[in-house]
Amino acid sequence: MRTQVAIVGAGPAGLLLAQLLHLRGIDSVVLEAKSRHYIEHRVRAGVLEHQSVDILNEAGVGARMMREGLLHHGLMLRFSGQVHRIDLTALTGRAVMIYGQQEVVKDLVAARVATGSPLHFEVEDVQPQEFDTDRPRVLFRSGGTQQVLECDYIAGCDGFHGPCRVSISPTELKLFERVYPFAWLGILAETPPASEELIYANHERGFALLSMRSPTVSRLYLQCAPDESLENWPDERIWSELQTRLGSGRDLDLRIGPILQKGVTPMRSFVAEPMRHGRLFLAGDAAHIVPPTGAKGMNLAITDVYLLAEALARHYRDGQDDRLNEYSATCLRRIWKVQRFSWWMTMLLHRFSDDSEFDRRRQLAELDYITSSRVGAQSLAENYVGLPL
Ligand code: PHB
């Protein structure tokens, strides 16, 4: 088997890369360890930067997003029971789109299937090899048969736990990591969102977030312990804690509804440098993780593969490798700014077990600055809607 670009992973990064390459006349094969049903139903992030919306539209996969997605022009910050609105559109001229990652994945899988190009699910034992030579290849097993995929380039879009990053010699990689002493307990619930806009709450019992997926489905999160067991969280406790942290009664009409999904998301900041090793290019979570507070994970994956598709097109169309050579540095410049923002949002909104009165005062001062200075609010808004490519 031979292709131009072997893509490992069919999340938003791998599938979007396949589609962008297809539009540029470049062949690829996509390999995914999980089943189609699994990747189309795993509940993940839901906020798209305006630029991500443009890229998905340009890739020809934005029609359903434009119909069903919810355009948000602002967000709410709730501190000490008081709500402050950040008017994203007044501050930046931009908005964000609420549209679930699994919906993006469904649209991308449909587009891939329509091209008739290879997309293999439930492959096992994926091994990227020889990427420091001119003849890289990927070994894998599919339906019990051992396969060899020869290619010009390998794109590692296989997430934090995938085989690509770990196939690089540790001496060639520099890792940066910060693990936070808490996690998010997230639920998807069949209940209309209690607020038209997202509410990020800093409460003395911990952070909470009200988000949504549609006019009838809410997505809600609570800060919890990093090793939290779901057994400790029967539905009643989740709703009562959400009401305490987000507000209830006159403040907010948070209506209890059936919980469709429950999960715990660990919080970490992580970067692996560089993102290119010979003919292997890392993109998305394979190269970096951000804590979800800034809603940036899927957006970084989208911008990484957009740059990678452009760089590969320049190679195949113009015979120039300048963009491929610059890929890692160009991505990392943006990634570190997004890391900074995600860390900052995390530090602004959470309770730390060793919180001092100093930290509390610092958070309140930060909020006061954001809500009283246009420049302060604009900095948050500019980062939230997305920095330019
Ligand atoms: C979500 O809707 O899942 C969501 C929204 C905003 C965040 C994180 C997650 O910051």
Q: In this predicted structure, what is the pLDDT of residue 248?
A: 77
- Do 127 and 167 contact (CB within 8 A), yes or no? yes
Output the ligand 1 site: residues, CB below 6 A.
Answer: 45-47, 198, 209, 211, 219, 292-293, 295
Candidates 172, 388, 168, 385; CA nearest to 286 is: 168
Q: What are phi and psi of 306, to 5 degrees?
A: -65, -45
Helix (H) or strand (E) holding 57: helix 50-58
**pLDDT over 80 at 249, yes or no:** no
Per-position DSSP letters for 263-315, written without gaps between them: EEEEEEEEEEE-SEETTEEE-GGGTEE--GGG--HHHHHHHHHHHHHHHHHHH
In which residue are the tokens 């990747």 written?
Answer: 39
Instruction: Grade residue 289 by pLDDT with cuts at 50, 70 and 90.
Output: very high
153 labelled catalytic: no
SS3 category, 64? helix
Instruction: Grade residue 353 by pLDDT with cuts at 50, 70 and 90.
Output: confident
Q: Which two tokens stand for residue 316?
A: 């195949």
Q: How many residues does the chain have?
A: 389
Candidates 202, 186, 189, 367; CA nearest to 262 is: 186
Q: In this predicted structure, what is the pLDDT of residue 51?
A: 97
Mutate to test the pocket of ligand 1, among 42, 99, 207, 219 (most ligand atoms within 8 A of CB): 219
Whole-number Å distance, alpha carbon 296 to ligand 1 midpoint, is: 9
Whole-number Å distance, alpha carbon 297 to ligand 1 midpoint, is: 10
Helix (H) or strand (E) holding 345: helix 322-349
At 97-134, the pLDDT tens digits run 999 999 999 999 999 999 999 999 999 999 999 999 99
Atom of ligand 1 nearest to the CA of 200: 10
Q: In this predicted structure, what is the pLDDT of residue 52?
A: 98
Q: In this predicted structure, what is the pLDDT of residue 42?
A: 92
Annotated active-site residue in 200, 221, 306, 327: 200
pTM over 0.85, yes/no: yes
What's the gap between Cα 103 and its chain centre?
A: 13
Mean pLDDT lowest among 97-111, 139-153, 298-312, 342-356: 342-356
- The sheet carrying 74-79 orders its strands as 82-87, 74-79, 199-203, 206-214, 217-224, 174-189, 259-273, 288-289
Segments in 173-296 forming alpha helices (H): 235-246
Q: In this predicted structure, what is the pLDDT of residue 272?
A: 98
